[in-house]
């Protein structure tokens, strides 16, 4: 059996960490821009401005952020197919935001889900039972991801495991490509997708995202949580 070499700590770790720190900072700060009068479009613009403020030179693809709210929460879109809505999100909203800041040829990529009640940003537990359950599943999936991924595991094997966990929980994967993430590369065209057919191993790439976009079957609500990971030896670490 062919063995996969044990990966070393990436030499460009600091550069990728800087880009990912921008992504997380934007997703932290954007909560301060959320009001009932906010729209996908206004939050989209604010994310772009925050990226530049915190040191990004651009973003990957054709849009700085994918912001989805209301009846668009279950929507899965990429690049030029995305146009943010001008409709106010309202006082009891649920919003997902996915950002991909770039520093030169280095990318960050992260996504979060937000909840408003009475016009104030609250946690999932305060937002409601279904919201809390969705985010609890997100936390469990990411924890399982860290535990089970190895350099020799293929993208397809990981996809099969996660698909079963999500299905058994009564949820569905909403991703347009039925994917759970992708690798990172200097050119987005070279990103490898974590889908059901990809026999590429995790050890063959340096950085990879995990980003379940899930909803309870039949529900209009959907949540997303994304982080970038890498190997330190055989152990998965969050960037």
Residue 3 lies in a domain: no
- The maximal CA–CA distance of the chain, rounded, in angstroms, is 59
The per-residue pLDDT for 145 is 98
How do strand 171-173 and strand 94-99 relate by DSSP bridges?
Answer: unpaired
Residue 175 lies in a domain: yes
CB count within 10 Å of CB 156 equals: 16
Residue 158's pLDDT band (cuts 50, 70, 90): very high
Residue 56's pLDDT band (cuts 50, 70, 90): very high
Query: How large a percentage of the chain has pLDDT more than 70?
Result: 97
Of the chain, the end-to-end C-alpha distance in Å amounts to 31
Average pLDDT over residues 226-230: 98
pTM: 0.94
pLDDT 10s digits, 31-41: 999 999 999 99
Residue 148 lies in a domain: yes
Residue 1 lies in a domain: no
More confident residue, 4 or 132: 132
Distance CA 68, CA 124 (A): 17
Strand partners, 98: 66, 111
State yes or no: pLDDT of 195 exceeds 80: yes
Distance CA 27, CA 37 (A): 19
Residue 1's pLDDT band (cuts 50, 70, 90): very low
Residue 5 lies in a domain: no
The answer to whether 99 and 65 are in contact (CB under 8 A) is yes
How do strand 58-59 and strand 101-103 relate by DSSP bridges?
Answer: antiparallel
Query: How large a percentage of the chain has pLDDT more than 90?
Result: 89
Average pLDDT over residues 62-71: 94
The per-residue pLDDT for 2 is 46
The answer to whether 221 and 130 are in contact (CB under 8 A) is yes
pLDDT 10s digits, 165-181: 999 999 999 999 999 99
Average pLDDT of the chain to the nearest whole number: 95
The per-residue pLDDT for 237 is 96
Residue 98 lies in a domain: yes
The per-residue pLDDT for 81 is 83
State yes or no: pLDDT of 30 exceeds 90: yes
| Per-position b or e across 80-97, b if 16+ CB within 10 A of its CB | eebebbeebbeeebbbbb
The per-residue pLDDT for 7 is 52
**What is the domain extent for residue 134?**
13-238
Q: What is the CATH number of the domain that holds 42?
A: 3.90.230.10
Number of domains making up the chain: 1
């Amino acid at each position: 059996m062919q063995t996969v070499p044990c990966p070393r700590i990436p030499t460009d770790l600091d550069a990728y960490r800087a880009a990912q720190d921008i992504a997380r900072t934007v997703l932290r700060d954007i909560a301060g821009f959320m009001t009932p009068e906010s729209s996908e479009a206004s939050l989209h613009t604010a994310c772009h401005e925050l990226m530049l403020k915190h040191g990004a030179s651009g973003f990957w693809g054709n849009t700085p952020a994918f912001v989805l709210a209301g009846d668009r929460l279950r929507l899965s879109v990429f690049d030029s197919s995305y146009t943010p809505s001008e409709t106010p999100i309202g006082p009891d909203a649920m919003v997902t935001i996915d950002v991909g800041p770039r520093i030169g040829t280095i990318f960050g990529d992260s996504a979060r889900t937000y909840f408003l009640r009475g016009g104030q940003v609250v946690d999932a537990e305060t937002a409601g039972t279904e919201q809390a359950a969705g985010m609890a599943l997100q936390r469990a999936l990411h924890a399982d991801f860290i535990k089970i991924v190895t350099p020799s595991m293929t993208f397809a094997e990981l996809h099969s495991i996660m698909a079963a966990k999500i299905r058994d929980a009564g949820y569905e994967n909403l991703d347009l490509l039925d994917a759970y993430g992708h690798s990172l590369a200097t050119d987005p065209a070279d990103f490898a997708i974590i889908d059901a057919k990809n026999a590429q191993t995790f050890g063959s790439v340096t950085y990879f995202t995990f980003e379940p976009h899930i909803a309870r079957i039949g529900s209009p609500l959907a949540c997303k949580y994304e982080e970038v990971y890498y190997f330190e030896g055989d152990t998965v670490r969050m960037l």
